């Protein structure tokens, strides 16, 4: 999932760089329109937020992940208690 997040972030940056280079609007059929990559960048930002929230990449979601783990026995902790 980290690879998906990184790929999505890379695509988001590419969109933003193109918009910075080319401008927020483009001319199409004699009128100005919002750059087509602006919509794509917005979709990618939403996907990044979803992934970040789902996998504990934000402080709020990290708390939920930590609380869920606290209820489950941790085999590594048990092993280390026996060894140490």
Nearest-angstrom CA–CA distance, 18 and 11: 11
Within 8 A by CB and 6+ apart from 58, the residues are 52
Please give the sequence-ordered ranges of beta strands (E in DSSP) within the chain, or none if there are none.
Answer: 25-28, 31-34
Domain ranges of the chain: 2-83
pLDDT, tens digit, 9 for 90 and up, residues 4-63: 999 999 999 999 999 999 999 999 899 999 999 999 999 999 999 999 988 888 888 877
Size of the chain, expressed as the number of residues it contains: 84
Claim: this prediction has a pTM higher than 0.75:
no
Q: Are 47 and 10 in contact (CB under 8 A)?
A: no
């Amino acid at each position: 999932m980290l690879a998906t997040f990184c790929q999505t972030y890379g695509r988001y940056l590419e969109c933003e760089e193109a918009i910075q280079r080319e401008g927020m609007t483009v001319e199409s059929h004699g009128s100005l329109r919002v750059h087509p990559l602006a919509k794509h960048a917005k979709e990618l930002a939403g996907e990044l937020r979803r992934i970040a929230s789902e996998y504990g990449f934000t402080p709020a979601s990290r708390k939920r992940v930590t609380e869920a783990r606290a209820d489950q026995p941790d085999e590594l902790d048990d092993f280390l208690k026996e060894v140490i």
